[in-house]
Amino acid sequence: MSAPASGAAKRPAVLTAGGTGGHMFPALALAEELARRGRRVVVFTDARGQNYAEKIAGIESIVVPSASPSRGGPLGRIGFLATLARGAWAASRLLRKLRAEIVVGFGGYASFPAGFMAARHRLPLILHEQNGYLGLANRKLATKAAAIGIAFPKVVGIPQTSAEIAQVGNPVRPAFLDIREQPYAAPANGAPFRLMVMGGSQGARVFSEVIPEALGKLDRDLRSRLDVAQQCRPEDLAAVQAAYATIGVKATLKSFFDDVPARLGAAQLLIVRAGASTVAEITVAGRPAIYVPYPHAADDHQRYNAEAVAAAGAGWAIAQPQFTADALAARLVELAHRPQELGRAAAAARAFGRPDAANALADLVEKHWRPRTA
């Protein structure tokens, strides 16, 4: 699309998102794409989100009051409503001051005030949903939206709405797009078999408990081929390292990997949770994975993410109660002896991924962007 006139460029799109990486990464990817097209962008978020936004040169960000409605009992509920009112008032004042022309919401509690006030200011509202289940903030705003950009082919929980529904994907960081150009090589018989395990701070413990036990059940030849990179909670590192030493498996363990794209590109199988960003990164890269949804995620949304990937043949979904050492060992033996299954899943993952997500989302936003004359 053509760049806007210089006068229109002064009237921004307001992107509003909760402060977690899952909400902020796609918001900032859209911000960068719109800026590349000559648009002005301002991001409304919370204090956590501003830490992400400040790392992107040229992106304006503003903290808007917000809070979770699910904490603190009755008094917490009263405090939430008061904070919500303050957030709505602040968002309304800022939308007027900035002379915003469109609002794009990415979910999370911090996205709600500006999304709610968009209708009051007669501004088009675009929502982006990263997961296979529409999040709470987006559910509350869906009937006010002009369009909803979704990451998965099907999203559960969208209420009756006149909004345009468009699958645009979930934008990922450029480093993961680069992996897409690296061919996947399944492990050959007798060759090293590279596993990568990522669980996040909430999900790494079950992996630390189950995976070493599962690998210990494999025969010696297969164990000797394994090369594991695993994220562990700091308090679990020593015990997991000892477990791998006992069973003779080569393992690199860290509480945080600062080279995730490179390791993901080299991995021949991943064992991961099913957060939206994780799914987007792995599928765009075209790598096979076993997904174990975090069972306590809001609305069980990770289950919907994992099931969508598995249905596409791009990986395998195992619910946490079924994620046992015996079940995982059996799956690894099967894949080690049938590496063509890994190759097929890698190809399906690559087909499932949306490398053009930021561009597609920007197109959707610009389709509904109505320049204002007043």
Domain boundaries, the chain: 6-170+355-368, 177-352
**What is the per-residue pLDDT across 176-220, written as a single tens digit (0 to 9) for each?**
999 999 999 999 988 999 999 998 765 578 999 999 999 999 999
Rounded distance between C-alpha atoms, residue 17 and residue 364, angstroms: 18
Q: What is the reported pLDDT for 6?
A: 46
Which residue has 């000559």 as its token pair?
Answer: 38
Burial class (CB in 10 A: 0-12, 13-18, 19+), 250: middle
Over pLDDT 70: what percentage of the chain?
94
Helix (H, G, I), strand (E, B) or coil at 340: helix
pLDDT band, very low/low/confident/very high, at 70 (cuts 50, 70, 90): low
First to last CA, the chain: 24
Determine which helix (DSSP H) or strand (DSSP E) holds 310, and give its type and residue range. Answer: helix 301-311
Tens of pLDDT along 112-149? Answer: 999 999 989 999 999 999 999 999 999 999 999 999 99
Where does 177-352 sit in CATH, by number?
A: 3.40.50.2000
**Range among 8-12, 152-156, 369-373 with highest mean pLDDT value:** 152-156
Please compute the mean of the pLDDT values over residues 299-327 and round it to a whole number: 97
Task: Examine the pLDDT at 22 and tell me if it is beyond 70.
Answer: yes
**Which pLDDT does position 3 carry in this prediction?**
43
Please check whether the two domains, 6-170+355-368 and 177-352, share a CATH topology.
Answer: yes
Strand partners, 228: 195, 251
Give 6-170+355-368's CATH code, choosing from 3.40.50.720, 3.40.50.2000, 3.20.20.70, 1.10.10.10: 3.40.50.2000
Q: For residue 199, what pLDDT is reported?
A: 85
Q: Taking residues 336-355, what's their average pLDDT?
A: 97
Chain segment 160-173, per-residue pLDDT in tens: 999 999 999 999 98
pLDDT per residue as tens digits for the range 233-283: 999 999 999 999 999 999 999 999 999 999 999 999 999 999 999 999 999
